[in-house]
Chains A and B, each alone.
Chain A
Amino acid sequence: MCLGVPGRIESATEDSLGMRMGRVSFGGIVKEVCLAYVPEAKVGDHVLVHVGFALSVVDEAEARRTLETLATMGELSELRGDADAPPGRPAP
């Protein structure tokens, strides 16, 4: 599961029931996507889309941070700063 593809919100409207729908572009093709689950999403944001529903807004800052870490990493331990600190960590 689950094919989730990031696309860019090109425009947004509300339908007769007040549900937000957006036109989302995936590399140039545009699909109608339900935005009801991402009320904070704005035109220009990238959202992760699965079966016609946006499930999450892509966090640009986190994406950038991940890519920067990957670009400069040498050892695996350098990745650790990129992930949440896990609970239950044994004392060093």
Chain B
Amino acid sequence: MSDARPDFGKLACPVPITTGPTVQMAHGGGGRMSKALTDRLFLPAFRNDALAALHDGATLARPAGRIAFTTDTYVVRPLFFPGGDIGSLAVHGTVNDLAMCGARPLALSAGYLLEEGFPLADLERVVASMRDAALRAGVPIVTGDTKVVDRGKGDGVYLNTAGVGVIPEGIEIAPTRARPGDRILLSGSIALHGIAILSVREGLAFESAIESDSAALHDLVAAVLAAGGAGVHVLRDPTRGGVSSATNEIALSAGVGMVLDERAIPVREDVRGACEIMGLDPLYVANEGKAIAIVAPEVADAVLAALRGHPLGREAAIVGEVTPGPAGRVTIRSRVGGTRLLDMMSGEQLPRIC
């Protein structure tokens, strides 16, 4: 197989399975029903040569450069939310983890843990969503697995995706590379994903146009690397725990300090409203389509321009700076001029009344 992208061919809507409307134990058993699920749902959706070979593993040509490899498991509830679902989230999330290594994503795997009784119509929706996300990202799903657990032992569906990518020569992205003086850039406005999820959770629902920002960021990252080259030191997508967790982890890894400026951090008005009424701090809320880039000061303007020039980075901003220390300490200048520690979250941030 050459380096050329696999030909997806015609994309047919997966043929509905006629064994009944829900997932059965036998769908994970390896027999006829398993094969039916693969043949009639997964194969047509993710149509590519590597997958069609139906070996135990996919065979890929070895690319020039270093290999990046990542995995993530997705348990999001509800499964379907404004702006996405567990399927698109799983594709984007793993593509993004590869991109944050500075890698060009090559291929994904998809592992499904299904609960007996899970509606097949919902599974078809999830798979169609993964198909579309993979296609838009240009990254094929080349291998996978399905298991079924007894009713009550799962939660509908859990998804694992793993991914491989290739890191071009000269690109060295790692949290340890953050240096005092580096500028901290954020690709756009925060807290969209977390708030979109909350907006449809029982007990908290509100009317809003807020949709998850879930998106594949590898193209945006390519633009960043093209603009900043070796000056791009760290890339991170601030998912669970938000911007605060991501910055704290990087600061700890690199043994540096960070100072952020609250005034510079982009937050949409309606997202802010939602955070205000629930007493949430946007800096701790999950994002699924944003990137933090920590870059040498001399390339900061070029990287900012590259971000803003990309559809997924229009609201990008420089939000802070790396300092010599104390190591692992992230502080933030408040809107009115004071300073506080931006600590790691302990546990989950819960809506409050006080």
Contacts and interface: CB of A to CB of B under 8 A. Distances in A.
- Prevailing SS type, chain A contact patch: strand
B277 A31 contact: yes
A51 B268 CA distance: 23
A71 interface: no
Given A31-B206, A31-B207, A26 B354 contact: no
A27 interface: yes
A49 interface: yes
A2 interface: yes
A32 to B, nearest CB: 8
Given A27-B276, A28-B208, A30-B208, A1 B269 contact: no
Interface centre among B208, B274, B276, B277, by most chain A C-beta atoms within 10 angstroms, is B277
A29 B206 contact: yes
B354 A28 contact: no
A5 interface: yes
Nearest to A49: B277
A28 B206 contact: no
B281 interface: no
B352 A28 contact: no
Interface residues on B, range: 10 to 19
Given A27-B273, A28-B270, A29-B270, A3 B279 contact: yes
Contacts of A51: 353
B353 A29 contact: no
Contacts of A30: 206-208
Interface in B145-187: none
B201 to A, nearest CB: 14
A23 B279 CA distance: 19
Interface string A3-45: 1010100000000000000010111111100000000000000
Given A26-B277, A30-B208, A31-B277, A1 B270 contact: no
A61 B273 CA distance: 23
Contacts of B274: 26-27, 29
Contacts of B199: 29
A26 B276 contact: yes
A19 B208 CA distance: 24
B273 A29 contact: yes
A1 B207 CA distance: 25
A5 B206 CA distance: 15
Contacts of A2: 353-354
Interface string A39-71: 000000000011100000000000000000000
B95 interface: no
B207 A50 contact: no
A3 B353 contact: yes
B197 interface: no
Contact of B354 (A1, A5, A7): A1
A26 B269 CA distance: 9
Contacts of B277: 3, 5, 7, 26, 29, 31, 49
A8 to B, nearest CB: 10
A35 to B, nearest CB: 16
B22 to A, nearest CB: 35
B79 to A, nearest CB: 23
Nearest to A27: B273
B344 to A, nearest CB: 23
A37 B268 CA distance: 31
A25 B206 CA distance: 10
Nearest to A24: B277
B272 interface: yes
Given A1-B354, A3-B354, 10 more contacts: A3-B276, A7-B277, A25-B273, A26-B277, A27-B272, A27-B276, A28-B273, A29-B199, A29-B277, A49-B277
Top 9 A-B pairs ranked by shortest CB distance? A27-B273, A28-B270, A26-B273, A30-B207, A29-B208, A27-B269, A31-B206, A29-B273, A5-B276
Interface of B: 199, 206-210, 268-270, 272-274, 276-277, 279, 352-354
